């Protein structure tokens, strides 16, 4: 009998902030030049980190989607039977 792995605890805001700052730094972006919190600024550190955390958490939710094994993805090429029909290719 195989064991089902337990799901790890979701990361805290501080852990996600460290990840986000690191990723931006690896891209050569210094987010610390932004004001820490300023409603009048187009962007500040607080909003940037909040938005990035939201995106990361949405990615986790999307990745946890159960795929229907009978679902057939659309294909980018015409089906072979179109050669015998009057359908025109675009």
CB-based contact 54:71 (threshold 8 Å): no
Q: Domain count for the chain, please give it.
A: 1
- Please provide residue 77's backbone torsions phi and psi, each rounded to the nearest 5 degrees: -120, 155
Higher pLDDT, 33 or 89: 33
80 in a structural domain: no
Domain with 26, as residue range(s), is 13-61
Per-residue pLDDT, 7: 79
Determine, yes or no, domain membership for 42. yes
Tokens of 72: 């057939």
Is 82 a member of any domain?
no
Please answer whether residues 60 and 51 qualify as being in contact, where contact means their C-beta atoms are separated by less than 8 angstroms: no
Q: Report the distance separating Cα 85 and Cα 8, nearest Å.
A: 54
At residue 83, the pLDDT reads 64
69: which 2 tokens?
């094994």
Residue 75: inside a domain, yes or no? no
| Percent composition of the chain: helix, strand, coil (DSSP 3-state, to 5) | 45, 0, 55
- Let me know if residue 24 belongs to a domain: yes
Average pLDDT, rounded, for the chain? 84
**pTM for this model (two decimals):** 0.63
């Amino acid at each position: 009998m195989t064991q089902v792995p337990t799901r790890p605890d979701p990361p805290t805001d501080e852990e996600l902030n460290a990840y986000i700052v690191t990723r931006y730094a690896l891209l050569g972006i210094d987010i610390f030049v932004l004001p820490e919190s300023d409603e009048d600024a187009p962007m500040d550190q607080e909003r940037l980190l909040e938005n990035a955390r939201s995106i990361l958490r949405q990615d986790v939710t999307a990745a946890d989607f159960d795929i229907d094994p009978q679902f057939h993805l659309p294909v980018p090429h015409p089906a072979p039977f179109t050669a015998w029909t009057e359908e025109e290719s675009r």
